[in-house]
Structure 1
Amino acid sequence: MSTKVLISGASIAGPALAHWLSRYGFEVTVVELAPALRGGGQNVDFRGRTHLTVLERMGVLDELRALDTGGSPMTFLGADGRRLLHLPAEFAGGELEIPRGELAQLLYRHSCARAEYVFGDSITALEETPSGVRAAFRHGAPREFDLVIGADGLHSNVRRLAFGPEQRYVRHLGYYAATWQFPNDLGLPPGSVGLNVPGRLASIGADHRDPARAGAFCLFASPELRYDRHDQEQQKALVRDAFAGLGWEVPRLLESLRHAPELYFDSISRADVPTWSSGRIALLGDAACGATIGGMGTGTAVVAAYVLAGELARARGDHRTAFARYEQLLRGYAQGCQKGGDRTGPFLAPRTATGLRVRNGLLNRRWVLNRMLELGKQVSSVELPDYELPKGGLPDYEPLESELPESELPESELPKCARESAGRFSAAG
């Protein structure tokens, strides 16, 4: 009998883990609170030998190269509209820069034929039993699994249920970030150009694929705020309040926010969990060791999914051995990748006018910029085990003929197995 694994979260880490576990013969269910795959979000990057090795072994590297944006140059303007600083595309792009939504779609397509996906539901309780973990759901009937993995991000529901309250593990780093999309009525080029004043950055740029669309990225310094993470109207109000009174294109940007169908809004924070597993329950990606932005979290999550699945396969489902080995191999690497998140807010939006002048003065010196580009290439790496597939291997993945739209794939175009498994789960409730 195959090992049954429940994964919470269908963003990046969850589908990456589902891809590997299902290839190794595990029976995988992925549950996601959102009603469909989430589109939008910032571009994410992969850099260094470790990231690219895992992507190659997954069989997705060539597909990702086709989605590569080539990097996103950044231009910072002062309150008077003068250019303060320009950073070239290679400054933040890594070897590969991919729109987050397109990456999520690709990982979903590579896993949905062998894994059960359940959207619009979430775990409400976890209880370890002598033989596994009994999971209760908001909508579906309770089910028992051999293992449960929390791949549900910085604000992990699994971590809260199995490890304790979020405030034990997540530290606010003094900033908030927001992204959304809107029609490109300004004729913007790709990349980003933004107003940068002490403690605030409001930037815009054209979509790399569709010049008729543009994206906004706003970041502001703030003490920790109390708000409902599922109330987008409340979050939009927080962004409008933070940027009220600024000139340039900010009023038009805030007006576009009123009509934005989807908003990403979150604090810039980091998670540090002393032990990544408890019994039959483990954490993956940002849930275990994450930073909101700037910490190479996406690449780290993909690497961690590869190692966790490989160790579970190597240990033949023995979670004690696999979880211990997974953490031993990756904790130091993940913490090294996480450090960049601590500096993201102060770098993008220094809190004082003096801080802005110092940053701009330094990076406008070509030798300083070149040195930072060199340092950016010296990314953390880890020696990866080469986990072998079961004897004889598994059939090659056959991609869907149709592309997944930004928000969701119509049910009629889902693989038959995905439609049936989702139906069975819903019917059980």
Structure 2
Amino acid sequence: MDGYYAFMLVATALVLMMTVPALALFYGGMTRSKSVLNMMMMSFVSFGIASIVFVLWGWSEGWGADGAGNANGKLFANPFHMWGLDGVSSSNFIYVLFQLTFAAITVALISGAVADRVKLSAWAVFVPVWLTLCYFPIAHNVWGGGWLSSHWVAQDYAGGTVVHINAGIAGGILALVIGKRVGWPREVNRPHNLTLTMIGAGLLWFGWYGFNVGSIVFTSDSLSDPKKFSAQFMSETGATFMNTTIATAAAMLAWLVVERITHGKATSLGAASGIVAGLVAITPACGSVSLTGAIIVGAIAGGLCALAVGLKYKFGLDDSLDVVGVHLVGGLVGTLLIGFVSTKSAPLGVDGLFYGGGLTSLGHQSIAALFTLVWTGVLTTIIAVAIKYTIGWRVSAEAEVDGIDADQHGESAYDLAQAKGLLA
């Protein structure tokens, strides 16, 4: 067991790295040079707020009992039952912290949909409210013994519903409510530093092994038997590690092929985006599919997400950094494909439609996805509208054009004046 706790320490640190600095770099490079600090700050602030909220009431609301010792059958648990981790043994803190990092990156993912135009103060209000009303209830229903899982047992190894569909639908709602950036789509806001984005994508891929492989859950039998524990640990972590790798590779290649066919070029931004799309799709499925299934999940996700990101122009949705196209679409692809290609030979041991398991698994996966879409879609709309008509979401049009970094932080990522002087 000592080795398992050491493993979880590493896994937790890897997931922490996914938010800061990996996501901050990935998103920061995709924005304009005068917005990069604000974009990165949204990730850092998300992590800070999520950490405090999770410890005070998030763990209790998502994974705790209802106050009477019953965690099952509820839409959410009592947020005050274990306030401030009261009653939680320090030996369990590592698992609490592991789940904390999931909450932090989920809400940080949403920020990419509204890049370049949102006040940091409005974002700081949104984060704790959204976590409380959307993230913790979905986590409780999928992972914490809540109402959904007590009726339909969907497979979600590391967060297809809880993280990616959740963040994806929220990002789309915010983009609609807050509105388009000044000049969009007439003015194309190109990534200012694809080197940062590529580094961020690489760090996300590296950190994702903590995300997926660290999500192993042991059976009661294996916990009581050291040999069974060791056998399950070796088999399950090996499968999820390989599935995560092979699906991501397939998704990156599929995205590049679609780019090459549709636009004539295979781009570095496409490679980075394909990596993330594959990681997103395999997240719920990494413990449910064979290696062949992982390649199928990754390839389909990479291709569909590559096509989906272009639809925002047709629908007039200014999803700045393609949160809907990558996380919502990728999360749905990975969650629903489990119903087709999951197999008993994988750690979770459920046959999908293509392995003779019938429609049961696909039905459960579909219900979990739909539940997440409806719950988070409705509540995010209420939160977004409430903020819009109280403190307001947006910086001024002038600040947006001149640069949100200077307006919100009084800083610039690059000393362009000095650089021009040196060149002169």
Whether the TM-score (by the shorter chain) exceeds 0.5 is no
TM-score (norm 1): 0.26
Larger fraction in helix: 2
TM-score (norm 2): 0.27
Larger fraction in strand: 1
